[in-house]
Chains A and B, each alone.
Chain A
Amino acid sequence: MEIRIMKEIMEGNDKLAGENRKFFEDNNITAVNIMASPGAGKTSLIMNIIGILKDQKKISVIEGDIASSIDAEKIEKEGITALQINTGGGCHLDANVIKLSVEDLALQKDTLLFIENVGNLICPSAFDLGETLKMVIASVPEGHDKPFKYISMFEAADVIVLSKKDLLPYIDFDKEAFYKGIRAVNQKAPVFEISSKTGEGVKELVDWLVEG
């Protein structure tokens, strides 16, 4: 006997993501899911944004890593609450782990919450966390071909950041090809070019995050 099912494979995760989304909306929390490859500058960008916003906005950070608490320690030095999640080999964060983390953090209303996903351009794109925004970072030294290779990641992004722009003079990075690749799969996400080292472009991104 055949039984038609027609159910989304991610249904369990998506249900929890919906609960997270409702919690964020009810409490006016902006949750930014930051996804990028390892070393693209996720933590550096978060640190830069904290530097600009910490006196005017409540900020919390969830740090997803395979192992270690290096990133959470860096952020706590800035006086910001950071919760480190070690996935123990797991390649992504999911809605359930975010639900538990949010309970642990006892988030206040109007918080800007950064969720630093596990460094990986593949798996995190498959798991809705209930976030307000998906931010994808691509760094100049990774090369301009990333939007041609990691389609689902760039397709899912609400905002795209090209980081380490101070390295552009030293690297063969074809910006036109990069933008063309993004446009093919995502016409809605704005792209910000930044350098966490020099601070260039970070203010524009922060203004967009706060006002947009």
Chain B
Amino acid sequence: MHEYAITENIIKTVTEEAKKAGADKITKITLVIGDLSSIVDESVQMYFDIISKGTIAQEARLEFKRVSAEYRCISCGTLFTRRGSKYDCPECGGEGRLTDKGREFYIESIEVD
């Protein structure tokens, strides 16, 4: 549900950046989103279609670059993404610990005309 507030932030930032560059129209917005951010892409897209109306971003295409959360095994050091319901290492069954990967949540770039 908080996608509404997040989408508002995205539109505010990209329109400011585009205006700074003297652009009249944003054609593409690239977002990098780690899986830990609890964001549903389709929901952002839905709010974007509504909120961007009348702004220079209204025809922009949204691209979502997803980053999976990565875990490191405390026994053998293997890096893995979680499968199923556990945090255990797929190689040796040891306990996984969350790394920094998966927390990304930023606007990478925009394309403008």
Contacts and interface: CB of A to CB of B under 8 A. Distances in A.
Whether chain B is bound by chain A comes out as yes
B48 interface: no
A100 interface: no
B55 interface: no
Interface of A: 1-13, 90-92, 94, 122-123, 125-127, 145, 148, 151-152, 155, 180-181, 183-187
A184 B71 contact: yes
A11 B11 CA distance: 12
Interface of B: 1-2, 5-6, 9-10, 12-14, 17-18, 21, 23, 31, 36-38, 69, 71, 85-87, 95-98, 105-113
A126 B112 contact: no
Contact of A94 (B5, B17, B85, B106): B5
A9 B21 contact: no
A10 B36 CA distance: 14
B6 A126 contact: yes
Contacts of A183: 95, 97
Contacts of A7: 13, 17, 106-107
Contacts of A9: 6, 9-10, 13, 31, 105-107
Contacts of B31: 9
A170 to B, nearest CB: 24
Contacts of B95: 180, 183-184
Nearest to B36: A152
B5 A11 contact: no
Contact of A187 (B12, B71, B97, B113): B97
B112 A123 contact: no
17 contacts: A1-B21, A3-B21, A3-B23, A6-B107, A6-B108, A6-B109, A10-B6, A11-B13, A12-B12, A91-B1, A92-B2, A92-B5, A122-B2, A123-B1, A123-B38, A126-B6, A185-B97
Given A3-B109, A126-B2, 16 more contacts: A2-B110, A3-B18, A3-B23, A4-B109, A5-B108, A7-B17, A9-B6, A9-B10, A12-B12, A91-B2, A145-B85, A148-B87, A151-B36, A184-B96, A185-B97, A187-B97
A180 B9 contact: no
A109 B85 CA distance: 46
Contacts of B109: 2-6
Given A3-B17, A148-B87, A152-B37, A184 B2 contact: no
Contacts of B21: 1, 3
A163 B81 CA distance: 30
B98 A155 contact: yes
B38 A5 contact: no
Contacts of B112: 1, 3
Contacts of B23: 1, 3
B38 A122 contact: yes
A11 B10 CA distance: 10
Nearest to B86: A148
B77 to A, nearest CB: 15
